[in-house]
Amino acid sequence: MNLAVGQTSSELAIGGFSIESLRTKFPALEHSAPFIFFDNAAGAQIPQQVFDAVNHHLLECNVQRGGRYPKSQDVDRTIARGRQSVGDFVNARSPNEIAFGMNATSFIRIVSLAIGQTLAERNEIVVTDMDHEANIATWLALECDGAKFRWWKMRDDGNLYADDLREVLSPRTRLVAGTVTSNALGSVVDVAAAAKVAHAAGAELFLDCVHFGPHGVIDVQEWDCDYLVCSGYKIFAPHMGFLWGKQDLLRKLPTFREDFIPNEPPLKIEAGTFVYENVAGMDAAISYLASLGEVREGKSTSTSLSSRRGNVTRAMKAIRQYEETLSLEMLRVLKEAGATVYGVSRKERIQERVPTLCFNLPGVAPADVTEAMSRANIGIRDGHLYSPRLMKRLGLSIETGAVRASLVHYNTIEEIHRFGNVLLDLGKHG
Looking at the predicted structure, is the pLDDT value of residue 300 above 60? no
Instruction: Kindly report, residue by residue over 132-190, the tens digit of the pLDDT.
Output: 999 999 999 999 999 999 999 999 999 999 999 999 999 999 999 999 999 999 999 99
Domain end call among 262, 286, 310: 286
One domain, residues 268 and 390: no
Under the banding of pLDDT at 50, 70 and 90, the label for residue 420 is: very high
One domain, residues 254 and 362: no
What is the reported pLDDT for 16? 78
Interhelix angle 305-336/413-429, nearest 10 degrees = 30
Interhelix angle 48-60/276-292, nearest 10 degrees = 150
Is residue 294, in this structure, part of any structural domain at all?
Answer: no
Look up the CATH number of the domain holding residue 96: 3.40.640.10
Is residue 4, in this structure, part of any structural domain at all?
Answer: no
Short-list 334, 427, 406, 347, CA closest to 44: 406
Main-chain dihedrals φ then ψ at residue 47, nearest 5 degrees = -75, 165
One domain, residues 354 and 388: yes
What is the reported pLDDT for 8? 66
Q: Mean of the pLDDT values across residues 410-422?
A: 98
What is the reported pLDDT for 75? 97
Asked if 420 and 337 touch (Cβ cutoff 8 Å), the reply is: yes
Domain end call among 267, 286, 305: 286
| Domain total of the chain | 2
Q: Lowest mean pLDDT: which of 78-82, 208-212, 246-250, 426-430?
A: 426-430
Is residue 314, in this structure, part of any structural domain at all?
Answer: no
Q: What is the 3-state secondary structure (H, E, C) of 292-314?
A: HCCEECCEECCCCHHHHHHHHHH
Length of the chain: 430
Short-list 390, 402, 27, CA closest to 187: 390
Asked if 401 and 385 touch (Cβ cutoff 8 Å), the reply is: yes
Locate all alpha helices (DSSP H) within 148-224, ordered by sequence: 162-168, 191-200, 220-223
One domain, residues 36 and 124: no
One domain, residues 336 and 188: no
One domain, residues 228 and 325: no
Give the separation between CA 374 and CA 399, rounded to whole angstroms: 20
One domain, residues 41 and 74: no
Locate all alpha helices (DSSP H) within 234-304, ordered by sequence: 247-252, 276-292
Looking at the predicted structure, is the pLDDT value of residue 5 above 90? no
Q: What stretches of 140-283 adopt beta strand conformation (E)?
A: 148-152, 173-179, 204-208, 227-231, 241-245
Domain end call among 229, 263, 286: 286
Is residue 102, in this structure, part of any structural domain at all?
Answer: yes
Give helix then strand counts, H and E, for the chain: 15, 17
Is residue 23, in this structure, part of any structural domain at all?
Answer: yes
Is residue 128, in this structure, part of any structural domain at all?
Answer: yes
One domain, residues 115 and 79: yes
Give the separation between CA 301 and CA 131, rounded to whole angstroms: 38
Instruction: Kindly report, residue by residue over 346-377, the tens digit of the pLDDT.
Output: 999 999 999 999 999 999 999 999 999 999 99
Name beta bridge partners: 207: 178, 228
Is residue 366, in this structure, part of any structural domain at all?
Answer: yes
Q: Mean of the pLDDT values across residues 55-80?
A: 97
One domain, residues 213 and 237: yes
Strands 299-300 and 378-379, bridge-based pairing: unpaired
Specify the 3-state DSSP secondary structure of 350.
helix
Is residue 196, in this structure, part of any structural domain at all?
Answer: yes
Domain region containing 416: 9-45+320-429
